[in-house]
Amino acid sequence: MFLKKQYGHGHMEVTLSTKSWCIPDKVISKFDSRTQQLSLDKEKIVLNVPYTDSLPQSLDKVESEKNKLGVTGISVSLITLEQVFLKIVKKEEGTPLNELFTAPSQKITDGELCIQSILALFWKKFTYTRKNLTNLLFILFLPIVSVILMAFSYNIPADSTNIIPLKLNIYRHPKALYSSSNEEIGQQYRNTIQDFGEAQLVAPDINVQEALDIFSKENIAEYRNNFIVSAEFNNITNTTWGNGLYSNLAVHSVPLTVNLLSNAFIKALTGKNYSIDLSRQQLPSTLSSSEIELPEAEALSRVLVFCSFFFPTMAFFVVHPLQETKTKIKQLQRMTGVTSLTYWSTMFAFDFLIYTMSVLLIMIALYIMDIILGIRLYYGTEILYMILILELFGMNILLFVYLFSFWNKSRTTITTILGLTPTGLVIIQYLIQKVLQGFPWLDVLYNLQKRLFRLIPYISLFHGQIGFFETAVQNARCRRLPSRLFDVACIATNDVCCGKIINIYNNEYNFIFLLTIKLINYFFIIYF
């Protein structure tokens, strides 16, 4: 029925008996423009005429002009299914069946087909990422947690030699009790206190200490928070005695007590124009006091914190290829002509773009931390070096985790292994290295394990980061040193800051070389 509807529905077969001199085109022109000539003999023309409202008029017209047209007879019939099949065989002989009932299309090949496959794979990867934003957020922001924890580990000693004035107004609402047998001295003490707070004269029948005890029993909170100093002045023969009382809770109460007593005596004897101003200043630090005794130990804790969050992030990159392997989508894509090189290249390019975004966020977080804490650790060289080693690590680790997508294990098992095993592995390797390093007669074994273990990207990054931080913290120390200490840096000791030049990272070129070699190895394993 489909074929009949496709080729025969709405059509009529018109058979015309003709004379030998009849011109078929003139006869056909009397019918609808869609009329087709099915066959032509010497005395017969068979036409396929669409069934329209104008068909009877066309037949009448031919009938009236048949002598002029050379037509001797007309017969009309419906098109049969047999005629449909004959028409198909005659018209479409040699044509594949799928091309008979579909619109014609142009097949693309070679470079155009490759580009179309790549764009389709990119769109598929983008759609997957958009529908799994949780994984993307973990990749981008989980390493930032390690940066925050690293920030808490920094304790930068201040080397401020600024002069800080010490006056009673450094405490809020200061109060004082006093007694004096010398009216002038007592008045000057009172005036000095009242410039910053409140002074109260005690009753003559009790001393200041007793008055303070009574006040503490009445209001212990005010006593502890507001009473910083107190004093009593007594005249004995020709001598005036001053006794200062101070709070053991206020750090600067002792020097303030002495200063207030001294000013009371000076102003009473010389007038109000004279006084003693009090201030404090830290002794300048020495060059040796700023030295970092164990730079490796300081670097180790921070690198472990960073790796504990950064390594599990890499496990998220195996989820998509593993899912496509389990669901056989990867095999279906290969059946469509997508090569392994095209598939893994697009997967790697998209994942590496996301990884690069994560690296840039890490560097922004480290730079902000450096500015806020004033560490002076990340300058141009350090930032570029950090980006370089992380990008090289990313190129290696993406190809490395792709290998696990061929493993016939569950998604949970594989992501757990990739998330937790690397951190444990680097700790074990580090302990083995330190044990072997302590025995000189095991140097051969030490060098062997060093070369073998560092073929693993995680361990390479771990040692690269330790080497980076060991040198970078020394650089940061030199940047924080006051300029006056650089003048003596090379006089007595061979300090690393001598000459203000610390050219770093020379030992890290081996790490970069190893990562580059491993990148080539993983490339051949994945693609070939």
pLDDT tens track for 56-78: 777 777 777 777 777 777 777 76
Structure tokens at 493: 């000791």
CB neighbours (10 Å) of residue 124? 17
Query: How confident is residue 504, by pLDDT bands cut at 50, 70 and 90?
Result: very low
Asked if residue 13 lies in contact with residue 47, where contact means CB atoms within 8 angstroms, the answer is: yes
What is the Cα–Cα distance from 224 to 247, expressed in whole angstroms?
8
Exposed (0-12), middle (13-18) or buried (19+): which is 133, by Cβ within 10 Å? exposed
Does residue 144 register a pLDDT over 90?
yes
Banded pLDDT at 289 (limits 50, 70, 90): very low
Give CA angle at 184 (181, 187), nearest 5°: 95
Evaluate if residue 3 carries a pLDDT over 50.
Answer: no
The reported pLDDT for the residue numbered 512 is 56
Q: Which residues of 363-384 are buried (b: 16+ CB within 10 A; e: fewer)?
A: bebbbebbeeeebbbbeeebee
At 5 the pLDDT is: 45
What is the pairing mode between strands 164-165 and 11-18?
unpaired
d(CA 301, CA 377): 16
Alpha-helical (H) ranges within 132-243 are 133-152, 183-194, 208-218, 220-226
Q: Which residue has the higher pLDDT, 348 or 103?
A: 348
Residues 336/343, Cβ–Cβ less than 8 Å: no
pLDDT of residue 158: 55
What separation, in Å, do the N-terminal and C-terminal C-alpha atoms of the chain show?
A: 53
Q: Which residues contact 67 (CB under 8 A, 6 or more apart)?
A: none
Give 296's contacts (C-beta < 8 A, 6+ positions apart): 466, 470
Predicted confidence at residue 515, as pLDDT, reads 53
Distance of alpha carbon 252 from the chain centroid? 47
For residue 389, the one-letter residue type is: I
Query: In this predicted structure, what is the pLDDT of residue 98?
Result: 52
pLDDT score for 354: 94
Helix H or strand E segment including 333: helix 329-335
- What is the model's pLDDT at position 365? 94
Predicted confidence at residue 364, as pLDDT, reads 95
CA distance linking residue 247 with residue 254, whole number of Å: 8
Encode pLDDT of 425-445 as tens digits.
999 988 888 888 878 888 888
Considering 125-129, 358-362, 487-491, 492-496, the range whose residues carry the highest mean pLDDT is 358-362
Chain-centroid distance, C-alpha 422: 20
Mean pLDDT of 327-339: 74
Averaged pLDDT for residues 415-419: 89
Burial (CB count <10 Å: 0-12, 13-18, 19+), residue 456: middle
What is the reported pLDDT for 241? 85
- Side chain identity, residue 71: V
Would you place residue 310 in the very low, low, confident or very high pLDDT band (cuts 50, 70, 90)? very high
Tens-digit pLDDT profile for residues 472-496: 887 777 777 766 666 665 665 566 6
Confirm if 375 and 369 have CB atoms less than 8 A apart.
Answer: yes
Are the CB atoms for 188 and 195 separated by under 8 Å?
A: no
Mean pLDDT, residues 307-322 taken together: 91
Give yes or no for residue 184 having a pLDDT over 80: yes
Mean pLDDT over 184-194 rounds to 86
Phi, psi of 249 (to 5 degrees): -90, -20
Per-residue pLDDT at 145? 93
The answer to whether the beta carbons of residues 138 and 316 sit under 8 Å apart is yes
State which amino acid sits at residue 452.
Answer: L
Q: What integer is the mean pLDDT of 157-162? A: 58
Q: Does the pLDDT at position 146 exceed 80?
A: yes
Query: How crowded is the C-beta side of 187, counted as CA atoms within 13 Å?
Result: 8
Rounded mean pLDDT, 506-528? 51
The answer to whether residues 229 and 247 touch, using CB atoms and an 8 Å cutoff, is yes
Neighbours of 286 (CB within 10 A): 10
C-alpha of 390 from chain center:
12
Predicted confidence band at 306 (pLDDT cuts at 50, 70, 90)? very high
pTM of structure: 0.59
Q: How confident is the model at residue 168 (pLDDT cuts 50, 70, 90)?
A: confident
Q: Tokens 């070699």 — which residue?
A: 517
pLDDT above 70 (res 286) = no
Q: In whole angstroms, what is the distance from residue 465 CA to residue 459 CA?
A: 10
- Per the CB < 8 A criterion, the answer to whether 456 and 425 are in contact is yes
Q: Has residue 352 got a pLDDT over 90?
A: yes
Residue 1: pLDDT over 50:
no
260 or 476, which is more confident?
260
Sheet strand arrangement including 36-40: 36-40, 44-50, 11-18, 71-78
> Taking all residues of the chain, what is their mean pLDDT, rounded to a whole number?
78
pLDDT over threshold 60, residue 23: yes
Percent share of the chain, pLDDT over 70: 78
More confident position, 140 or 97: 140
3-class secondary structure, 240: strand
Strand order in the sheet with 239-246: 198-201, 175-180, 229-236, 239-246
